Every structure is written in structure tokens, then in C-alpha cells.
Amino acid sequence: MRGMKRPAANQKTLSKLSGSLVLVGAGKMGSAMLDGWLGRGLSPRRVVVIEPQPSKATKALARRGVGLNPKPGPKVKADAAAAIVIAVKPQTAPDAVPPLGLHVSKSTLVLSIMAGRTIGFLEKSLPAGTAIVRAMPNTPAAIGRGITVAVANTKVSPRQRKLAGDLLAAVGKVEWVNDEALMDALTALSGSGPAYVFLLAEAMTKAGIAAGLPPALAARLTRETVAGSGELLHRSDIDAATLRQNVTSPGGTTAAALEVLMGPGGFDELLTKAIAAATKRSRDLAG
């Protein structure tokens, strides 16, 4: 179809990683990343997972060679990692991050996906001079279709930046910014964004039921409409406004709905307010 992008070829970008990769926190996001890395050719033997309550899937990976919760000992200092990925909840960070200093050497990249935990916080918690990338993924990462935005501190070398990009690309697209202050607004847009789309789906289902449709049919029609439209947007080179105009004939049914949605107090106004509120909350919570 014209205007459609080709899917990216499956790349084995991590097959040549030298050194070990330590994943701290194999919850929803950490596990999704781990699956992505192994899918991109990372050898299980290069991975160490630190996770107090490993899932069945993580335990199964341990049987394939992933190191799970190795006992700390005098040897640990010598086992500096090529990369440490921090995927614990932000509130766990004050306990979980400082001990990781044991695995950090000059060549180690620390990649944190903790919401709201700043580069300043990580620099204070880790040895001086540590190379740090802070990143904000979103939940479609679970199916390899996330979008992650990353920002690096001044200690990150071009090689480490490439490694961070490769690690994050295992769960979707990656964008880099230079200004960490943008993290609050982009957390509000793409980090929280999936919730806005799911709310749209909920509201469409309710509205369909109010218009007389059987609930199960309204839910199925909504699911496929939101998913199909998202996929069309994903595969198309055409911008969202044009795709919208393409389904809107003057004086037709879509135009009648859009008059309401694009009128005063409509989508634009609501989302601007919602994203401003989320940006403010992210700023208030940051530390």
C-alpha cells in the first residue's frame, strides 16, 4: 500500500555485547526488556538478574543460563558490568541503587527506566563519574512496540550511547533528548499516553452502548477500531490530521461527531489540560 513503512528487519544488535549485563528488577518492564534483549541475540550467559521475587518465566531463563540473584561476595567488585539496567519502582531506588556501585567501573553504563528519578539522584547514589542514561519507556514495550525517550549525562561515551540505544530498541522505538527538563512533559505524553488511549476506548464503548448497541458488540467494535486505527497510523507516512480528514466527508456522520469533539471544551482543550496536569505531577514527584 502506498505511504506505508516497511517493518524493520529483525536485528541481532546485542549478539556482540562484551561483558555482562545486570538487570535490576525483572517486573513487567524489566522482563519485557530482557525478552527483547535475548530476542536480539544477547547470550543468556551474559545476563545477571537481581530480583527478589522472580517470576516463573525468569526462573526458566535461569535454567537457560541467565544468572539469577548471585550471592554477593568479595569477587563481586571484579565483576564490573558492561551495563546495569535499573527497572525497579522509583520508591525502591534509595535502597536498590547505592549497592549497585559495586558492579560499576569506568566502562559501565547505567541505564535507568525509573519514572521521576533524575540523573542528579542517580549521580549522587552511584560512584563519581558513572555514565548514566535516564529513559522513559511506555507499556506497549510489553509487545515490542513501545516508544522510549532517553537522556544521557556528560560521562556517557558514544559507544555507551549506542549500547543504551540498542538495549532500549529491543522493546520499540527510541528518541533521544539533550535536555532532561523535557522528561516531565514527555512522561506526560508518551509515558502516560497509553492510558489516554485506553480511556478513549472505554469512553467509545460506553457511548456505543448509550447509542443502543449491545455491550459486547460495542466493546469488540471499539477494540478493533482503536487497534486498527493505531496500526494504520503506525504504518502510514501520512500525519494524523490527514488520516482524520480522509474519513470525514463534508456534512457526513464523522463530521457531525467531530464538530462536537473539536468544539469548545473538546479533545484539544481536555488533552492540553490533562497533559499539563501530568507534567506538573511529574515535576512535583521528581527526585
Ligand X SMILES: NC(=O)c1ccc[n+]([C@@H]2O[C@H](COP(=O)([O-])OP(=O)(O)OC[C@H]3O[C@@H](n4cnc5c(N)ncnc54)[C@H](OP(=O)(O)O)[C@@H]3O)[C@@H](O)[C@H]2O)c1
* Nearest residue (CB) to ligand X, 99 versus 129: 99
Binds ligand X by CB under 6 A, chosen from 139, 229, 248, 254: 139
* Nearest residue (CB) to ligand X, 29 versus 61: 29
Rounded Cα–Cα distance for residues 183 and 149 (Å):
8
Question: In the bound complex, which residue of the shown chain has the CB atom lying closest to ligand X?
Answer: 27
Give me the least distance between CB of 142 and ligand X, in Å please: 8
- State yes or no: residue 115 binds ligand X (CB under 6 A): yes
Half-sphere exposure of 20 (CA within 13 A, CB side): 20
- State yes or no: residue 172 binds ligand X (CB under 6 A): no
* Nearest residue (CB) to ligand X, 50 versus 126: 50
- State yes or no: residue 30 binds ligand X (CB under 6 A): yes
* Nearest residue (CB) to ligand X, 14 versus 183: 183
Q: In sequence order, what are the beta bridge partners of 23?
A: 49, 85
Give me the least distance between CB of 122 and ligand X, in Å please: 12
Burial of residue 1, with CB atoms counted within 10 A of its CB: 0-12 exposed, 13-18 middle, 19 or more buried: exposed
Contact 122, 97 (CB under 8 A): yes
Grid cell digits, residue 183 = 522528561
Pick from 177, 174, 154: nearest CA to 164: 174
- State yes or no: residue 36 binds ligand X (CB under 6 A): no
**Strand bridging mode 146-152 / 131-136:** antiparallel
Rounded Cα–Cα distance for residues 140 and 145 (Å):
5
* Nearest residue (CB) to ligand X, 96 versus 167: 96
Binds ligand X by CB under 6 A, chosen from 21, 114, 156, 163: 114
Backbone angles phi, psi at 83, to 5 degrees: -150, 145
Binds ligand X by CB under 6 A, chosen from 67, 90, 172, 193: 90
Binding site for ligand X (CB under 6 A): 24-30, 50-53, 87-90, 92, 95-96, 113-115, 136-139, 191
